[in-house]
Homo-oligomer: A and B are copies of this chain.
Amino acid sequence: MEEREISKAVVKRLPLYYRYLGDLLEQKVERISSNELSHQMKVTASQIRQDLNNFGGFGQQGYGYNVKYLYNEIGKILGLDKTYNMIIIGAGNLGQALANYVKFEKRGFRIIGIFDVNPRLSGVAVRGIPILMTDTLPQFLEENSIHIAALTLPKNGAEEVAPVLVEHGVKAIWNFAHTDLNLPDHIVVESVHLSESLMQLSYNLNCANKNEEE
Contacts and interface: CB of A to CB of B under 8 A. Distances in A.
Interface in A54-94: 77-80, 82, 84, 92-94
B186 A212 contact: yes
Given A190-B201, A201-B190, A212-B186, A19 B206 contact: no
Contacts of A125: none
A205 B147 CA distance: 9
**Most chain B beta-carbon neighbours within 10 Å: one of A82, A107, A172, A210:** A172
Copies of this protein chain in the complex: 2
A96 B94 CA distance: 8
Contacts of A195: 15, 19, 103-104, 107
Contact of A197 (B100, B103, B174): B174
Contacts of A27: none
Nearest to A100: B93
A196 to B, nearest CB: 4
Contacts of A205: 79, 84, 147-148, 171-172, 188
Contacts of A77: 203
A98 to B, nearest CB: 8
A3 B197 contact: no
B104 A93 contact: no
Interface in A166-190: 171-172, 174, 178, 180, 186, 188, 190
15 contacts: A1-B210, A1-B211, A11-B204, A16-B196, A19-B195, A42-B180, A79-B206, A93-B94, A103-B178, A107-B195, A172-B201, A172-B205, A190-B200, A192-B192, A192-B197
